[in-house]
Structure 1
Amino acid sequence: MSGQRAVLVHPSADALARASAARLLLALADAQALRRPVHLAIAGGSVGTQVLAEVATSPLLENLDLTGLHVWWVDERFVPCGDPDRNEGQASEALLGGLDIPAANVHRMPSSDGADGAGDPHAAAADYATELAAFAPSGTEAVRAPEFDVVLLGMGPDGHIASLFPGHGTVTIDDRTVIGVPNSPKPPARRISLTLPVLTQARQVWVVAAGAAKADAVARALHGADPDEIPAAAAQGRDLTLWLLDAEAAGR
């Protein structure tokens, strides 16, 4: 059963990034007041990376105990380590590289040239699933993964979230926590992605979107589109679902 849903509209993409960063830091600090450790899943993309960059310079960062924070990725481009297309590289440049988070708390998805996966996105996905399972709450059987405190999602103009794309049938997968995506319609073609059961197990799921190109998909998602056509329509958290938009993305 999903919790509350809210749509918050900011006047510009910059204002959206600043407000989302502040909201994220406060949400994580509140979560740390209740439990340890706290788990955050982040996405790539221009808006998501801008949010992370705002987090890095926010005075609210001092309220967070970084030793008690675990950072995961909702998806990754299955390319070599150091490739500029890697989401984790963008996140490291924007935020993680300047923070004193224990290395063991930063859970990067495998690269195509790493020892794990041996160049196969499906094998790499299975390896990441094993890592997720190691942090699953005791007694959890259905979804062997952490209960994320916040999942930060971007959304493409086609309505995709993570690397779950329209018409690919991946939104219905419920027997795995992580999948290899060999044929993404958006380059690079090979990717790794968390599945919906993991994302919707999160306490809070946030979809952050900016720009007029996203407006149609936002409107369709919020009006209950078929998730196979608009995967973002299936984005929901157990306690709270937030749609964080700029004025252009909210235009429809």
Structure 2
Amino acid sequence: MGRPPNLYSFASVDNELAPNLRKYILEQQNDSLKRHGVFRLAVSGGSLPKTLAKALLAPSSGSEDDKTDFPKWEIFYADERCVPLSHEDSNHKLVKEEFLDKIPSELGQPKVYPIDEKYLEDEQECADQYEKTLVSIFAARDSVKLPLFDLILLGCGPDGHTCSLFPDHPLLRASDAWCLSIADSPKPPAKRITLSLPVVLHVRKLVSLRLAAGSNRY
């Protein structure tokens, strides 16, 4: 049985959450680069991209442990809506505009793996194609049961959903696929793809950020 989660509360995004999140992410970056030379993380949308920008684009303290190495990052999506990448509902558009486009050129850019727009009309094929992308990265040399992300960064909706895994939805019971499709999302848009629960739970480190109801506290 896994260890219980660590719970933290932050009264301020700028003064408390962002600097602590930066420290944590860079600890995982540095550990991953020492282990296998790349930092692989999956992210969701919502308020997370803006919080990432506040955390990671802040000035470095100058110490070696406090430096981003974006060219060695590989960013995947924990879930995505089956819409064009330029659509307002696209998580990729949100991450790109709120975070990636704001990275100074001298810091370099992560390698990013968005969904393939050719398969937007068929959410199951879109999920299958994204799973093939994951297989090509995480199982290129060896056969593995599940991909092992270094870090997954998620939000949590008011209804308790994370990724596009909704409370009491049948997708929560899926155990074989790495990437799943959903055509009846309780929250629009209805068609989405998402990492499966076994993949999310297999990660080295998992962070879930949730804004406390009726306040600005995380």
Deviations 1:198-233 (A, max 9, x none): 11111001111112169xxxxxxxxxxxxxxxxxxx
Distance 1:62 1:22, change over 3 A: closer
Q: Is the 8 A contact 2:56 2:68 kept in 1?
A: no
Q: Distance in 1 between matches of 2:164 and 2:59?
A: 32
Q: Is the 8 A contact 1:56 1:98 kept in 2?
A: no
Q: Give the alignment's Cα RMSD to 1 decimal.
A: 2.3
Q: Is the 8 A contact 2:76 2:112 kept in 1?
A: yes
Partner of 2:57: 57
Distance 1:84 1:62, change over 3 A: farther
Deviations 1:160-216 (A, max 9, x none): 1100011211111111111111111111111110101111111001111112169xx
Gaps of 5+ in 2: none
Partner of 2:109: 101
| SS of residue in 2 equivalent to 1:212 | coil
Deviations 1:81-122 (A, max 9, x none): 2111111111111211244225xx211123xxx22x251111
Q: Distance in 1 between matches of 2:120 and 2:166?
A: 25
Counterpart residue type for residue 11 of structure 2: P
Q: Distance in 2 between matches of 1:39 and 1:132?
A: 11
| SS of residue in 2 equivalent to 1:82 | coil
Residues 158-173 of structure 1 correspond to what in structure 2 (within 5 A)? 158-173=159-174
Counterpart residue type for residue 9 of structure 2: V
Partner of 1:6: 6
Counterpart residue type for residue 115 of structure 2: M
Partner of 2:145: 142
Partner of 2:134: 132
- What's the % identity of the aligned pairs? 29
Q: Distance in 2 between matches of 1:188 and 1:8?
A: 31
Counterpart residue type for residue 35 of structure 2: L
Count the aligned residue pairs: 208
| SS of residue in 1 equivalent to 2:26 | helix
Counterpart residue type for residue 52 of structure 2: L
Partner of 2:35: 34
Q: Distance in 1 between matches of 2:143 and 2:3?
A: 20
Deviations 1:125-145 (A, max 9, x none): 0000000001125444322x3
Q: Distance in 1 between matches of 2:69 and 2:172?
A: 34
Give the structure-1-normalised TM-score. Answer: 0.75
Gaps of 5+ in 1: 215-245
Give the structure-2-normalised TM-score. Answer: 0.85
Q: Distance in 2 between matches of 1:62 and 1:94?
A: 21
Partner of 1:223: none
Q: Does 1:86 align with 2:90?
A: yes
Deviations 1:11-63 (A, max 9, x none): 134432443233213321232233222201111012x1222221342234972
Counterpart residue type for residue 42 of structure 1: V
Distance 1:33 1:212, change over 3 A: same
Q: Distance in 2 between matches of 1:9 and 1:207?
A: 12
Partner of 1:218: none
